[in-house]
Each structure stands twice: as structure tokens, then as C-alpha cells.
Amino acid sequence: MAEQTTPARLTVLAGPTAVGKGTVSADLRARYPNIWLSVSATTRAPRPGEVDGVHYLFLKPDEFAGMVAGGEFLEWAVVHGRNSYGTPRRPVEERLAAGAPALLEIDLQGARQVRQTMPEARFVFLAPPSWEELVRRLEGRGTEDAEERERRLVTAQVELAAAAEFDHTIVNDDVQRATDELVALMGCAPAPRERLAPTDPTSR
């Protein structure tokens, strides 16, 4: 369980495609259920296992456009030149008004928009251990076809160059370690580690 140790504020986690933002978010949901993670709206189709209202709000393009027109997004962007993604404004504002921490996992364009409107937020960049590892992860997850992978790698190159705009960089070399570092930055106490088995004094 995470315990708040510093004043609550908004934290924005961004980073290149396939760096593992989704995996870190899933680990956070599992091990830190009391850290509130914004549920984005998107026009993209659900992937197997994704649940509407949990992983995303899956909207039709006209529904998304209606929310844009109504000023209902804190930020929104067309990501990888294809689908629209946005952060519903009201839930985030309610969390912050209640003095509770909130986390957004969004792309670089969205992070830049939040920096304009909420410069007091904490901006965290999730980086891959290397470019080769990023390419390997994108190919390994097999959720995109070759054309989409190529498109995402072009975006990723631009995104990697933006790390310097962020307040902190976390290298995603190990998911749980990266999540714990994020939680510590948010001013929440880390989840207790599993107890290590007692050391056998006879083994060396």
C-alpha cells in the first residue's frame, strides 16, 4: 500500500512507444491500487483483454469529437498519426481538488499541453535502456503490423529526443523497479517487497 508522504499533485508519465508505459501502469494498478491513474478516452479499437472504462474509454470518433468540442479534455492528441487519445478533465480536477495525487500516462504531445495549462505538475519521462531494446520490445509485443511499427518507431525517435524537457527520467530496465521509482517520486511510500527467503549459512 502506498502512503502519501508529500503534498499531492499531478504527475505526468510520458515516453516513447513500446517503452513499457502500459506495463508500468498495469504494475501500478496491481501493486498500488490506491494511486489514482486517469482513464484516457481513445478512438482506437480495444486490444484483446482491454476493458472499456478500465484501460480506456473506447469512443466512436463522433463521441470523441463531441468531448473535444465541449472542452471536456485536459489534453488530447492524435497519436501516431492515427487515433485520438485524451484525458477527461473532470476526474483529474476532482482528485486534485480533494488533495489526492493523480497520475496521467500520456504521449509527448499531451504532456506538452499539460505543461502549458498545469506547469506545477511533475513531468516524468520513461526511457528504454537502449534504442535496440525499444525496437525489440515493439517487435516482440506483436500488437502492430509492420507498417504501424514503422510509424511508431518514427514517432519514438522524436519522442526520445524530448527527455530533457522532463523533470525526471526513469529507465525502464525492470518494471517493478521503475514503478517503485515513479511511486517514490510521487511522494508515496513503496509497496513492501516480498520477504526474501532466509539465507542458508552453509551455501556460498
List, as residue ranges, the binding site.
Answer: 15-22
**Grid cell digits, residue 204:** 556460498
Q: Choose the stretch contacting ligand 5GP; rule: CB under 6 A; options: 103-111, 119-127, 130-138, 165-173.
A: 103-111
In degrees rounded to 5, what are phi and psi of residue 105?
Answer: -115, 100
The verdict on 44 binding ligand 5GP (CB under 6 A) reads yes
Q: Is 181 in the site for ligand 5GP (CB under 6 A)?
A: no
Determine the distance from the C-alpha atom of residue 45 to the mean position of all C-alpha atoms in its chain, rounded to a whole number.
19
87 touching ligand 5GP, by CB under 6 A: yes
The interaxial angle of helices 131-141 and 146-160, nearest 10 deg, is 150
85 binds ligand 5GP, rule: CB under 6 A: yes
Using DSSP's 3-state secondary structure scheme, residue 144 falls into: coil
The binder of ligand 5GP chosen from 24, 35, 77, 118 (CB under 6 A): 77
Q: Are 25 and 19 a contacting pair, CB within 8 Å?
A: no
For ligand 5GP, the binding residues (CB under 6 A) are: 17, 21-22, 40, 44, 75, 77, 79, 85-87, 105-107, 109-110
